[in-house]
Amino acid sequence: MSQNPFLSQAPIEGIKQIIVVGSGKGGVGKSTTSVNLACALKQKGLKVGLLDADIYGPSLPRMMGAINQHPQVDEEKKIIPLVRLGIKLMSLGFLVEEGSSVVWRGPMIFKALDQFLRDVKWGELDYLIIDLPPGTGDVPLTIAQKVPVSGAIIVTTPQNISLVDAKKAMDMFNQINVPLLGVVENMSSFTPPGAAEPLQLFPKGDLDKFLVDQKILKMIEIPFNPAVGLCSEAGIPIVESNPEGLEAKAFTGLAEKVCSHF
C-alpha cells in the first residue's frame, strides 16, 4: 500500500500562515504579485517572509533590490535570510549568479526546497509568501507535501490563452488539498496618459464567467502600468514606491483579502 505523501508534512516553527502564489504561465505577473503582497502585508504591521521558489527564473533578488547579495550562515549552519524593506528574503538567486542557468533534477529540487523551508532562520512570521515557478511541476507538489500550506493565490491575465493554464494550476491545488484563496487578474486594463477611459490591453476571455461558475473569488484586478515594471526593475516594488497609486491600492486590497481569511 502506498503511503500518503502528505503525512510527512510538518509545520515550520514560528510561521503562522504559508501562502503560495502560482500561475499557469510565466510572465503573467506572479512574482510582481508576490513581492507587492509581501510589502502590503508588512505595511499592515505584520511580520512577513518571502521565499523565491521559482527555481527556474528567480527574480525576487532583483525585484527586492538584493542582487549579488549572499545570506550568511550561523554557527548552527542555519541560513540567515536577508532583510529588505522589512521583509525576510530567501532565493535561489542568492546562491547562483544572475543569468546563469541551473539544471535541476527532482531530488535536487526536493533538497533545495527542504533547505529553504527548514534550514532558514525565518523566526516569527505572520506570513511566509512563497513565489512558485509557473505551471504544475514538482515544486508546488513538494512544498505541499512538506509544509501545511494555508492557501494559494493564482495569478492570470484576462485572456483565454492564460486562463487555460490557470485552470490547470487551480486543479492541481485542488488535487493536493491546498485551499484556493482566489485569483488575481493582472494587466486587466491600461489607461494611456491623458486618456479618459481605460483600454482593454488583452481580449477579455471567459475568466469572470469561469470564476462565478466555480464560485472562486476574483481577489483583485491590477491595471497594466509601466511604472509597475520600472519599480520592480529598480528593486522597490510599487506598493513601497507609490503607495497612493491605483496599482498599490489593488495590492493593499489583496493583503486585506488574504488577512480576512485567517
Is 228 a binding residue for ligand ADP by CB under 6 A? The answer is yes
Cell numbers for 81: 535570510
Q: Is 91 in the site for ligand ADP (CB under 6 A)?
A: no
CA distance 180 to 170: 7
For residue 101, what is its C-alpha cell? Answer: 542557468
29: left (phi over 0), alpha (psi -120 to 50) or beta: left
Q: Does 172 bind ligand ADP (CB under 6 A)?
A: no
All residues at 6 or more sequence positions from 113 whose CB lies less than 8 Å from its CB, including other chains? 53, 139, 142, 143, 146
Q: How far is the CB of 107 from ligand ADP (least distance, A)?
A: 25
| Choice between 79 and 238, CB closer to ligand ADP | 238
Question: How many whole angstroms separate alpha carbon 11 and alpha carbon 14?
Answer: 9
For the bound state, the minimum distance from the C-beta of residue 162 to ligand ADP, rounded and expressed in Å, comes to 10
Within the chain, what is the greatest distance between any pair of CA atoms?
A: 65
Among 15, 181, 187, 236, binds ligand ADP (CB under 6 A): 187
**Is there binding between residue 153 and ligand ADP (CB under 6 A)?**
no
Nearer to ligand ADP, 53 or 144 (CB): 53
> Mask 6-45, x = binds ligand ADP (CB under 6 A)?
-----------------x--xxxxxxx-------------
| 59 touches ligand ADP by CB under 6 A | yes
Q: Which residue has the cell 505584520?
A: 46
Query: Residue 27: phi, psi to the nearest 5?
Result: 80, 10
Residues that bind ligand ADP (CB under 6 A): 23, 26-32, 59, 134, 186-187, 222, 224-226, 228-229, 232
